[in-house]
Structure 1
Amino acid sequence: MSVHQLTLGDVLGEHRRGRPLDVAAVDGDVRLTYPELDARVDRLANALAGAGVEKGDRVLWLGQNSFRILELLLASGRLGAILCPANWRQSADELAYVLDDLTPRAVVWEESEAVAEAREGWSGTATWLKSGDEYEEFLAAGADGAPAAPVTEDLPVLALYTAAFDGRPGAALLSHRALIAHSEALLHQRQMENGFTFLACGPMFHVGTNMFVLATFLLGGKNVFTPAYEPKEVCRLIEAEKCTQAFLFGPMIDGLVAANEGGQYDLSSLRFVSHTPEWDAMITVDDSPWCASKMGGYGQTEVGGMLTFLGLGIGGQGYAGRSSTLVTVRILDANGVEVAPGEVGEICARGWSLFSGYHNRPELNAQKAIGGYHHTGDLGRREPDGTLTFIGPKLRMIKSANENIYPAEVERALKTHPSVADAAVIGVPDDRFGQTVKAVVVLKPDAEVSEDAIIEHVRGEIASYKKPRHVAFTAAIPKKGYTPDYDALDAEFGGGAYPGS
């Protein structure tokens, strides 16, 4: 083992020694110090090994937020295995795809009709554990002491599904090194200090929540978990646990302001970005580069979260700031040649926080890594002062309430309706969510179906938040070659407000 190796398991072991009294995780009645978390992770890792989980195997979490996600990540990491917290809001069809694609060796799940239906139709084999008593009994049966599996920092440890440009997402694999590197860059930008407490109220299948959980863990801070965002409960937890940071954006912040209208909760421990006078009066407005710059930059799951930070380019010409200190960024043309400042090209990067590729996608991985750089699929521009501007995806993407929605995925669901001959999806501006989904549908001859019926059909095929909020019927979808002419559709049906526009 090289003296230069550092894994997530090593970090946990160091916290066990250096922070024996500090709380690592809070979830309802569960309160775990770092030594207690380390001991549970060892037992869980040994129990998983006993169930056949080995280096390179996948462990799947199907449920809402829980301290068990962090626990499973660390236990998987001690075996050289990979944890995937999947989107629990997905339909049975989408979850069945994840099972087929990921072929997990173990699945930890929470009760839901979609999960039960997907499990019933799956032909694979895995150890299935229901979160709760069954999980606890399984963990308790594991042996004490760290497993003997040799683990190196370059091994993937976390898989997050993303980038459904072709209609189905891929699992981006992030290594120990990538997660530690990104955490180090983020905690520097956020100026995280001893005693930092993060409230994981955003979905943990999303890199935006995970990156703060892991940065807090790296620092030796306290992670507080709640199943999902519920305004009054979030307010209560901020006060009770003296939370420093939480996963929040505009509409979520507005919900907290409404829930705390009478001032019954003390939210002053929260050091957060300025939003409205009412919000600013409840919290402590933070002046770190992360918060002073409105928590921004450019990022994606494949780069560990953030590739650039606005906090490194405050006052600069570019809307995405400057690159993280642990990566290099190039703006390249179609031939892989760096373009001049002021010209638009593809944002490409390499460095310590970059992912290890997509699970089981060798052809896509080769395309993405041409020339030794990760090709993000997004367009950007280097400004004369060296800062970066994000222009938008090379392929169309809709951003609704901080969720990425890919037209191809929704279009695939629309076309499974027996009355639909063709369909395309655009994003339309929305005051609350930024964008919402609008479907443009061509019906089969003599078919009759309502807007509501189309929406409900899509709701049954994919996660509800991806469904159209509006449906327009037309005689034909304009095309550019074989693909929809999205510009023409935007012009005719009111599309706009795309990321980077």
Structure 2
Amino acid sequence: MSVVQRFTLGDVLSEHRRGRPLDTAVVDGDVRLTYPELDDRVNRLAHALAADGVTAGERVLWLGQNSFRVLELLVACNRLGAIFCPANWRQSADELAYVLNDLTPKVVVWEESEAVEKARGQVTLDARWVRSGDEYESYLSGDTSEPAHADVLSGTPALALYTAAFDGRPNAALLSSTALISHSMSLLHIRQMENGFTFLACGPLFHVGTMMFTLATFQIGGKLVFTPAYEPKEVCRLIDAEKCTQAFLFGPMIDGLVEANKDGAYDLSSLHFVSHSPEWDKMITVDDSPWCASKMGGYGQTEVGGMLTFLGLGMGGAGYAGRPSPLVHVRILDADGSEVAPGEVGEICARGPSIFSGYWNRPELNEAKAAGGWHHTGDLGRREDDGTITFIGPRLRMIKSANENIYPAEVERALKSHPAIADAAVIGVPDDRFGQSPKAIVVLKEGETATADDVIEHVRGEIASYKKPREVAFVDEIPKRGYTPDYDALDEQHGGGAYPGS
């Protein structure tokens, strides 16, 4: 007789309840919860969600900044076989309305904001809306904390993260417990996370970079510290007070912490992190794990749970994306699905337990993405003679500004909604601070006028502010290749460059 083994995010918490009864699981402002206390809340929340019709396959949406409630909503939904999605709270009302209409959640947990209020007024949705805070606490104040486990398989989609707006609208990538736990185990290995690991979630939890470390810390039974958003002084205070081992940080954020702590008021030595500058290195403990020693390098995307390859597995190799995670297989395939020879460029394709389950409600796209039994990333790469991987760049162009991916098609759609704009294209130009910034190339309608500030403000109202162009060039015509802009010509004419992989 064979036994079907199940191992879900809900099971991880159940085990920590028994194995770590005295350990702190989460810290968020005045909230401090041990693993048993977190488990009790998750069970009460699961019962409340079930009473509102959240069953297997239903969706629950979070519209708000970082909070410990994101974790407990994820695990509670997983115990019901439901899908949880933390949306990008920085989006415009129109973008949030799109997510609401696309995902059709059964329950929406939200924090008050003008964009959320406007989005709510734009949709007709049969959903229970629960305001985060006192209303949320009342929502899960039921008198039972009995286990709320449905018969959930490990491969059931658990988390949805919106990504990949190449065609102008994003898609929700679905990640199962198997995928999330598998990725966590790879990250635990490369980062050498040990007992007592404490992660400060100061980056957005709708971003896979923050979420992957949150879940790896959860997997190992570490302490998770949440702060609503990155604020340098508060991040310094939390690192000092909670003795954080790791945080979601990159270049400009690190520079902000150095400036905020230039008087040495906070002890940041508990932070085992990547070397960055002499001032930063004196404040922290420079970490020698493969993850930090390699400058947190590799290649990844939301659809693979975070990282597909790690530079830490290929330091000194010819390919600057390193080698694949121990739990995936990677192939470089041509347009016919055949593997190309080392040194030749093809599409990076992968399979393994950490790969996503497809996109929500995108059957045709899912079929194309899974052709031949491999996940087609949409990115170009090359396997070097020593077996390491080089990331070349997206098959469809992408702009990388700081740590944010900006897809020209999405910005172009926003530009073309301006009443004075006849046509538009977006390129990335080198930026000393952020690596790249978007630049709009705009054709005005005959007889219409608009200034660069008009155009930038219009885009800011249509999509998230960080996606808006920082420069606008007005031209008579946009060069085309077929029906699409000739981006190479635009780069040459308007100073484009510094694309990922270049």
Question: Does TM-score exceed 0.5, indicating one fold?
Answer: yes
Match for residue 117 of structure 2?
116
Q: 1:377 is matched by which residue type in structure 2?
A: G
Q: Partners of 2:369 and 2:55 in 1: how far apart?
A: 28
- 2:145, 2:277 → 1: CA distance? 50
The answer as to whether partners of 1:62 and 1:109 remain within 8 angstroms in 2 is yes
Match runs of 1:47-66 below 5 Å:
47-66=48-67
Secondary structure (helix, strand or coil) at the match of 2:365 reads helix
Name the counterpart of 1:160.
161
Task: Within 5 Å, give how 1:324-335 maps onto structure 2.
Answer: 324-335=325-336
User: SS where residue 32 of structure 2 aligns?
Assistant: strand
> Is the 1:392–1:500 Cα contact (8 Å) retained in structure 2?
yes
The 5-angstrom pairing of residues 476-495 of structure 1 reads 476-495=477-496
After TM superposition, give the deviation of residue 146 of structure 1 in Å.
Answer: 1.5
Aligned to 2:420: 419
Partners in 2 of 1:121 and 1:94 — Cα distance? 11
Paired position in structure 2 for 1:446: 447
- Following superposition, the deviation at residue 148 of structure 1 comes to 4.4
After superposition, the C-alpha distances for 1:417-438 in whole angstroms (9 at most, x for unaligned) are 0000000000000000000010
The CA deviation string for residues 347-379 of structure 1, in whole angstroms up to 9 with x for no partner, is 000001000000000000000000000000000
Partners of 2:499 and 2:252 in 1: CA distance = 18
Q: Which residue of 2 aligns with 1:361?
A: 362
Q: Structure 1 residues 142, 421: CA separation in 2 closer, same or farther (over 3 Å shift)?
A: farther
Identify the residue that residue 393 of structure 2 maps to in structure 1: 392
TM-score, normalised relative to structure 2: 0.99
User: Who is 1:94 aligned against?
Assistant: 95
Aligned residue runs from structure 1 range 46-195, under 5 A: 46-141=47-142, 143-195=144-196
SS at match of 1:228: coil
8 A contact 1:47–1:143 mirrored in 2 = no
Query: Hey, what's the Cα distance between the residues in 2 that align with 1:158 and 1:458?
Result: 29
Q: Cα–Cα, structure 1 residues 142 and 99, in superposed 2: closer, same or farther, change >3 Å?
A: farther
Q: Which runs of 4+ in 1 moved over 4 A?
A: none
Q: CA deviation at 1:3?
A: 4.4
Aligned-partner residue type, residue 99 of structure 2 = V
Q: Distance in 1 between matches of 2:500 and 2:355?
A: 22
TM superposition shift of 1:120: 1.1
Q: Which runs of 5+ in 2 are unaligned?
A: none
Letter in 1 for 2:65: Q
C-alpha distance in 1, partners of 2:498/2:141?
51
Alignment of 1:375-386 (within 5 A): 375-386=376-387
**In structure 1, how many angstroms separate the alpha carbons of the residues matched to 2:76 and 2:419?**
45
Instruction: Give the whole-Å Cα distance in 1 for the aligned partners of 2:495 and 2:214.
Output: 39
Question: In the alignment, which residue of structure 1 is the partner of 2:280?
Answer: 279
Structure 1 residue matching 2:88: 3-state secondary structure? coil
Aligned to 1:250: 251
Once residues 186 and 149 of structure 2 are traced to their aligned partners in structure 1, the CA distance between those partners, rounded to angstroms, is: 31
Per-residue deviation, residues 201-242 of structure 1 (Å, max 9, x unmatched): 000000000000000000000000000000000000000000
Q: Alpha-carbon deviation of 1:124?
A: 1.3
Distance 1:15 1:69 in 2: 18
Structure 1 residue 175 displacement after superposition:
0.1
Amino acid at match of 1:106: V
Identity fraction in percent: 77
* Residue 496 (structure 1) aligns with: 497
Q: Is the 8 A contact 1:420 1:444 kept in 2?
A: yes
State the shift of 1:4 in Å: 2.1
Structure 1 CA distance for aligned equivalents of residues 143 and 329 of structure 2: 43
Instruction: Tell me if structure 2 keeps the 8 A contact 1:47–1:142.
Output: no
Aligned equivalents of 2:143 and 2:410: distance in 1? 41
Q: Which residue of 1 aligns with 2:305?
A: 304
Which residue is equivalent to 2:227? 226
* Aligned counterparts of 2:143 and 2:7: Cα–Cα separation in 1: 25
Q: In the TM superposition, what is the alpha-carbon distance from 1:142 to its structure 2 partner? A: 6.1
1:188 and 1:148 map into 2 onto residues whose CA distance is 29
Q: Distance in 2 between matches of 1:344 and 1:414?
A: 33
**1:141 Cα deviation after fit:** 2.3
Deviations 1:142-167 (A, max 9, x none): 63212242111000000000000000
Partner of 2:353: 352
SS in 2 for 1:76: helix
Structure 1: distance between partners of 2:479 and 2:427: 13
2:79 corresponds to which letter in structure 1?
Answer: R
**TM-score, structure 1 normalization:** 0.99
Q: Aligned partners of 2:450 and 2:142: how far apart in 1?
A: 55
Counterparts of 1:373 and 1:91, CA distance in 2: 35
Report the 3-state secondary structure (helix = DSSP H, G, I; strand = E; otherwise coil) of the residue aligned with 1:140: coil
* SS of 1:37 mapped into structure 2: helix
Paired with 1:477 and 1:143, the residues of 2 have a C-alpha distance of 63
Distance 1:250 1:41 in 2: 35
How far residue 70 of structure 1 moved from its aligned partner, in angstroms, is 0.2
The answer for the alignment partner of 1:21 in structure 2 is 22
Residue correspondences, number = 501
CA distance in 2: counterparts of 1:186 and 1:338, whole angstroms: 27
Q: Which amino acid aligns with 2:452?
A: E
- Are 1:159 and 1:171, in contact at CA under 8 Å, matched by a contact in 2? yes
